[in-house]
């Protein structure tokens, strides 16, 4: 079970690697700690920017040829 630890004038919780993986979080990610909901402390990633960029890059790579074809057709009109 994670334990609350004192870090300077603040406190922190060590999150097991398996839990981080399940939440798709890595060291250095920013998170929002929400108030307790039904007895559970909720921690959410604070920004979707990283996941959005990764998904957009994957989509652009997957459909690169399609995008080039569409762009060339648009330019030839």
> Tokens 């909901």 belong to which residue?
37
Q: How confident is the model at residue 46 (pLDDT cuts 50, 70, 90)?
A: low
For 55-77, write each residue's pLDDT tens digit: 888 898 999 999 889 888 777 77
End-to-end CA distance of the chain: 63
Q: Report yes or no on whether pTM surpasses 0.85.
A: no
Helix or strand or coil: residue 35?
A: strand
Q: What are the phi and psi torsion angles at 43 (to 5°)?
A: -120, 125
């Amino acid at each position: 079970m994670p334990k609350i630890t004192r870090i300077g004038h603040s406190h922190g919780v060590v999150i097991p690697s398996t839990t981080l993986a399940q939440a798709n979080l890595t060291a250095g990610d920013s998170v929002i700690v929400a108030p307790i909901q039904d007895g559970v402390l909720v921690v959410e990633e604070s920004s979707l920017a990283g996941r959005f960029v990764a998904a957009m890059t994957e989509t652009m790579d997957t459909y690169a040829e399609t995008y080039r074809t569409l762009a060339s057709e648009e330019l030839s009109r």
